[in-house]
Structures are given as C-alpha cells and as structure tokens.
Amino acid sequence: MPRRTHGRLSAALLGLALLTGSTALAISVTTATPAHALDDGLARTPPMGFNDWNSFGCNVDEKLITDTADYFVSSGLKDAGYTYVNIDDCWAAHDRDPQTGRLVPNPQTFPHGIKWVADHIHKQGLKLGIYTSAGTQTCAKTMPGALDHEDVDAQTFADWGVDYLKYDNCNNQDRPALERYTKMRDALKKTGRPIVFSLCEWGQNKPWEWGKDVGHLWRTTGDISDSWTSLLTIFKQNVSLAPYAGPGHWNDPDMLEVGNGGMTAREYRSHFSLWSIMAAPLLIGTDLRKATPETLSILENRDVIAVDQDPLGIQATVLSGDNGHWVLAKPLKNGDVAVTLFNETDTTATFGTTASALGLPKRPAYVLRDLWAHKDAETAGAVSGVVPPHGTVMYRVRRDSRAWAFQPPAAAFGLDLPSAVTGIPGTITPAGRTVTADVTTTNLGRAPMLNARPSLDLPTGWKAQPVGRTGAAILRTGATLKSRWRVTPPASESPGARSLTARLSYGLPGTRLSLTEDLVVPKPVPGGTTDLGADDWATARNGYGPVEHNMSNGGAKPGDGKPLTINGTVYAKGLGTHAPAEIVYYLNGRCSSLTADVGVDDERDPRTVAGQSTVTFEIWADGTKVADSGLRTWQDGAVHLSGGLTGASYLRILTTIGGDTNSYDRGDWAIPVLTCGS
Ligand code: GLA
C-alpha cells in the first residue's frame, strides 16, 4: 500500500506550525519522525454508532438519544460493535450562559441536561457524541459555535462526559480551517478526557493531507443524502483517498442512509459494503425505533462489519473500475483479503478478479466466504460474481491453504430479467405479458459441481416455461450453465410489488443458494385525458428525496416541497423532480401524447449563480426520444413540451443534470397532460 512519506508529513506539519504559530507543534517539526499529536490510542478502528442528523435534522431530543442507546443494547447492535450515540446540530439553546459563557442545553428538548444523557449512555456501556461548529454559529444557526470559545466548550463537553465531538465548518468567518481545527484539538487535549475528534469541513481544505495530526476522522465530501446519485458521488470522491486512512485517522464519507427509504435494499447493501471496505466510520443515520428487519439485517451484518473493523485498518484500493464494474480489495490482519464487486450500472454484469491478482500465494484452491449469503465455498482462483444492477457481491478470500478441501465448489450464481424494451427495467412485469428470466451458474471451484439444479419460485398464479436445458449433471471448473425461463403473470394480476426467487442446489449433500429480484406489476395509466399523476407510475427515481406530486421537490422527505414555480409562474399541478430523475409509466399501447410545461423550479439557494441549476427534460416513447427541452437554467421561463406516444408500451420522462453537477437541479413537469384511448 502506498503510505504517506515522512517528507510529506513533515511538510504538512511545518505548514501547520507556520499557520498556527503553535509551540505544541514545534517538537513535531524538528524531529525526523514527527510525533503525531493525536497518536492517542483512540479510534484504532473506524468509529461505529448512531447520529441523528440524517433522519431527524433539528428534531433531536434526549428521549431519541436515550431510546437509541437502549435499543443498541436490546437489539444486539451494541454487541455487533455500535458504540457511539451521537447528538448532531440543534441540541443547545440559542445563547450561552451569560455568567459562565458555557453552552446551555435546550431546556425544551434536553430538560435533564447533557450530563444526564451521558450518564444514561455510559450505564449501558456506550459512549456519547456531541456536535458544534468551528464557527460563530452551527450550520442550522440555532445555537452558538465554538470559534474563539474552544477552551470553555471543550471543558464543558469533558465535564459532561462527552466521548466524541463532531466539529462542523459553518459560519467560520473565513478563518483558516487548520487553525480552527487545531485549536479545538488542543482544547480537547487540555481537558485530559479521551474524546474522539471528528473534523467536518467537507473535504474543502484536503483534510486528508493534514487531518491525521489534528483529528481521528475527517469528512471527505459534502453532505450525503438518501439517494443513489449522492451515494455514487460520495463513493467516487472517497475511494481515491485510501492512502490517507489508517488506525486512528480515517476518511469519513459521511453517515449511513441505510433504512431511510430513498434507496432499494440492494442499494443499501451496496452502501454498507462500500463504506465497510473503505474502512469508513459506520454511523447509523436512521430511526432505529422504526427500522425494519431488512434494515437491521444490513446494519448487523457481522461479516461485513468485521471487514470495516479489521485491526490492520487499511482502506480498500480499486483494482478495476471500468464501465462502472468496480473491484475493490482490502487486505486484512490475518492475511485474508476482502473483495467487493460493485455494479454501478443498470444492467446485470459478471466480473471479478483472481486470487493471484489479490497477491495470495499459489494454491490449488481457496476458501471464499460470501459475506451477504454468509456461506463458505472453495474457488480454484476466480473471485467473481454475477452482480445485479446497483448491487454488490462481497467476499472474504482466505489465505489458509488447506481448509478449502472441506468446502463445496463456489458458484457465481445470478438471476437477471433482461430488458425487453430499451431503457425499461426487465423487473417491470405487466399483467399477462411474458418476460424472460435468465439464471446463470458458473462453477468457480476446483472440484466439479455435481447435479446443478436451478429453479424459480414464482408469485402465486404465475407460469414459467423453461427454454432449453435448466440443469446439469456435472459442471467442471470454470464451466457455465445458462438456464432460461419465459415467465408470465396472469392477465388478471393486480398491480403492486412481487418477488421472483431463483434457487440453486448442487452436490451431495446439497448446497443451496437463492437470489431474489423485486418485480413491479405496473398499473396501466387511466384512459382519456388526465393529469400525469403519482399514483400511476411503475417506477420513479429521483436525484434528491422523492419525486413530489403537485409541489416542488423540496428536501429529502416526502411532501416537503413548495408550490411548483417556474420563473415566477406558479402551477397547481405537476411533478416536482430533482435531476437525475426518471419516471416510467405503463401505457400498454393505449396513449397518443404527453404535453407539459417544463422548467427549473424557483426553489433554490439565493446564492445560486449562472451555470448552476441546469437541467434538460426528455420524453421517451419506449426506446425513442420524442421530445427534448434543450438546456434549461434557473433564469429561463417554462417551455412547452409535446411528445407523441402512439403505440408505445411505456412512457419514460427524464430530468437530466444538464452536464454539470446536480446542485439545485429541481426540475418541474407542470400541467403534464397525458392523452390515452379509453
Ligand atoms: C452540516 C454537516 C452535516 C450536519 C449539519 C447540521 O451540513 O455536514 O453533517 O451536521 O451540518 O446542521
């Protein structure tokens, strides 16, 4: 692994000393191997815990925090390694105590004070985190920041029993980040209490280059949101910073969104896998009191957590990332290697690496543990998988040279519903229409795979017709069995979610694997001339928060928009999207046109400048683009779009990011009128 050289480190420290004029740093600068100011034994593995911000924003109170701590214990999350229960912004009163200059907990939301909360949490064997900003106020501006109050605030936190401080960057008066964060580091140190110090300056001043000597972790990016686009953007920014992470000093790609509803379970599994292989802090950001079993099964995946928490503390590096097929590898303390195969694209793909490319010694075979299926098998060397769209296959490849002989051969096993209409996911399965289901089985093992039998579990009343052979008596190393079925839902099937499970059994005694795809039976759009609504879409994806009906996109939560407004004109009806957005409707060949007035919504940051908030609007009839607005900016009025849909099975409307970032890309589809036969 490339590590920082002492030369670079010394230069960073020298810069730090020059900026701060700090005497504490003088020793570091003059020694050949500088002592790390923060080599204090804290955060030797990435911090794990909870933070309220992603799901509660400013609605934090002491009950939420103590309930979460109690839940950590009762649910087993504490046993799985989650330790820090962290309070984010908005916990303090607007003003400091006039006598002492200390921060005062908000008397409405934290009536018992922070020490009481800390005591409760410590009794559970957990730790408490708190938040403030290296500025005059915090980001939400409801409470004072710690700029020029570092000593008193650090001492207050220590007196209360705080174990972790997230230190934000808002309202910083343009003072240098290094100076502001170093002052708090020193103030915390002076208290004598071990406090994990989390730098949250959003990667603006390349904290990975100096953060190791100042804090235990540093945000590398802007804020995450509960969307696939945000996840991808942040992953790509953080993944290249691997050389800077290590025990006691971590890259922080922001808190988890797992469970918040803006992504699919598969996308959340990718989120958790990627954060873990990147040795990121695992701070749960969902309301645990309402977490589903599926959410908990992700957050409690101990095989994956063990990768994140591996004591060697190496952040994975990218072995390949061509065409959105990412292979990441992380060496582990015991000589094993963790591998993540992440498919960023919208189509199923088979890819991977090999044991020799991972640097493992040459052996006849290796034990491969699938960290989501929790199963061991042996591979002759291929570390590959059939990875569904937005999905992740995660393995741990064992170094142990003998154990493989006791394992069944590993299968790269996949279920794919190829798209029948360009651009329309094959998982949209209209009533009465036959779709194709492909099941692939490749023997990765050294031993032959005997009696490989794939099968499908169908929703009630559905039919499946095999095309060609579906089983194999023997599959040798590297051989692939491709099985295909034609699957038909009944013509009377009601709209809604369904699932299709592919199963594989092989060997004696039988090894069993299964994979499930989520299907959508779409509701056909209504007949006649109607407003394009929210109830009728088959699928909707949005760049930020959900697509809104009859209001602008607003924020991350449903229903939090404003009236749809394009350059001062307000519209009562329409869809509020945020690029990149894609909404699919099932027309079943019955419709003739869609018209709409489209434009960038006026809801944006007042500091938005020309060049930001740019989108295009497109209407697609099956695989054909039938209308395109061209580039629209926040300065433009609405433009009228009209697209012909005659004969099309599907309508797809897109709001694209217009070539720049998706910052403030709120695109309105105002008065969208769909004309269909009866
Ligand atoms: C900033 C941080 C977030 C959160 C909010 C609170 O945006 O980056 O993580 O702490 O402030 O206001």
User: How far apart are the C-alpha atoms of 115 and 102, rounded to whole Å?
Assistant: 14
User: How far apart are the C-alpha atoms of 545 and 28, rounded to whole Å?
Assistant: 46
Residue 56 Cα to ligand 1 midpoint, Å, equals: 12
Give the residue, out of 56, 60, 87, 88, with the most ligand 1 atoms within 8 A of its beta carbon, to mutate for a pocket test.
88
Residue 631 Cα to ligand 1 midpoint, Å, equals: 32
Residue 141 Cα to ligand 1 midpoint, Å, equals: 11
Whole-number Cα distances in Å, 110 to 70, 166, 260, 498, 501: 17, 19, 25, 44, 48
Q: Which of 172, 169, 178 is nearest to 211 (CA)?
A: 178
Catalytic residue among 40, 148, 223, 660: 223
Indicate the helix (H) or strand (E) that contains 640: strand 639-644
pLDDT confidence of 28, banded at 50, 70, 90?
very low
Task: Give the pLDDT confidence score for residue 609 in this predicted structure.
Answer: 65
Q: Judge whether residue 430 has pLDDT over 60.
A: yes
Q: Which residues line ligand 1 (CB under 6 A)?
A: 53, 88-89, 138-140, 168, 200, 223
Task: Enumerate residues 6+ apart whose C-beta is below 8 A from 534.
Answer: 540, 547, 549, 575
Q: Which of 441, 463, 438, 435 is nearest to 453 (CA)?
A: 441
User: How far apart are the C-alpha atoms of 65 and 535, rounded to whole Å?
Assistant: 36
Task: Give the pLDDT confidence score for residue 658 in this predicted structure.
Answer: 87
Active-site residue flag, 168: yes
Q: What phi-psi label fits residue 221: left (phi over 0), alpha (psi between -120 and 50 degrees) or beta? A: beta
How does pLDDT run across 166-182, given as a tens digit for each residue?
Answer: 999 999 999 999 999 99
Atom of ligand 1 nearest to the CA of 219: 8
Task: Give the pLDDT confidence score for residue 15 in this predicted structure.
Answer: 32
How does pLDDT run across 48-69, given as a tens digit for each residue?
Answer: 999 999 999 999 999 999 999 9
Residue 136 Cα to ligand 1 midpoint, Å, equals: 15
Residue with tokens 């794919």: 416
Q: Which 3 state secondary structure label does DSSP give 466? A: strand
Residue 199 Cα to ligand 1 midpoint, Å, equals: 11
How does pLDDT run across 3-14, given as a tens digit for each residue?
Answer: 332 223 233 323
Rounded average pLDDT over 557-574: 95
- What is the reported pTM? 0.92
Task: Give the pLDDT confidence score for residue 9 in this predicted structure.
Answer: 26
Task: Give the pLDDT confidence score for residue 35 in this predicted structure.
Answer: 41
Q: Judge whether residue 2 has pLDDT over 60.
A: no
Rounded to 5°, the CA angle 179-182-185 comes to: 155
User: How far apart are the C-alpha atoms of 247 and 253, rounded to whole Å?
Assistant: 16
How does pLDDT run across 451-475, given as a tens digit for each residue?
Answer: 999 999 999 999 999 998 889 999 9
Percent of the chain with pLDDT over 90: 88
Ligand 1 atom 5: residue of nearest CA? 139
Percent of the chain with pLDDT over 70: 94
- Reported as half-sphere exposure (CB side, CA atoms, 13 A), residue 147 has a value of 22
Q: Which of 577, 568, 539, 536 is nearest to 665 (CA)?
A: 577
Q: Which of 546-550, 631-635, 656-660 has the lowest mean pLDDT?
A: 656-660
Atom of ligand 1 nearest to the CA of 138: 12
How does pLDDT run across 256-275, given as a tens digit for each residue?
Answer: 999 999 999 999 999 999 99
Catalytic residue among 61, 70, 168, 370: 168
Rounded average pLDDT over 600-606: 85
Task: Give the pLDDT confidence score for residue 390 in this predicted structure.
Answer: 97
Residue 554 Cα to ligand 1 midpoint, Å, equals: 18
Which tokens sit at 152? 């008193």
Ligand 1 atom 6: residue of nearest CA? 89
Indicate the helix (H) or strand (E) that contains 483: strand 480-488
Q: Which of 127, 286, 126, 413 is nearest to 272 (CA)?
A: 286
User: For the chain, how many residues are written?
Assistant: 678
pLDDT confidence of 659, banded at 50, 70, 90?
confident
Q: What are phi and psi of 94, to 5 degrees?
A: -65, -30
Atom of ligand 1 nearest to the CA of 131: 10
Give the residue, out of 89, 201, 219, 257, with the most ligand 1 atoms within 8 A of its beta carbon, to mutate for a pocket test.
89
Rounded to 5°, the CA angle 98-102-105 comes to: 100
Mean pLDDT, the chain, whole residue set:
92
Sign of the torsion formed by the C-alpha atoms of 659, 662, 663 and 667 = positive
Q: Give counts: helices (H), strands (E), the chain.
A: 12, 38
User: How far apart are the C-alpha atoms of 172 and 39, rounded to whole Å?
Assistant: 27
Residue 224 Cα to ligand 1 midpoint, Å, equals: 10
Atom of ligand 1 nearest to the CA of 222: 8
Atom of ligand 1 nearest to the CA of 255: 9
pLDDT confidence of 34, banded at 50, 70, 90?
very low
Rounded average pLDDT over 591-611: 85
Ligand 1 atom 9: residue of nearest CA? 223
Task: Give the pLDDT confidence score for residue 608 in this predicted structure.
Answer: 64
Cβ 93 vs Cβ 143: under 8 Å: yes
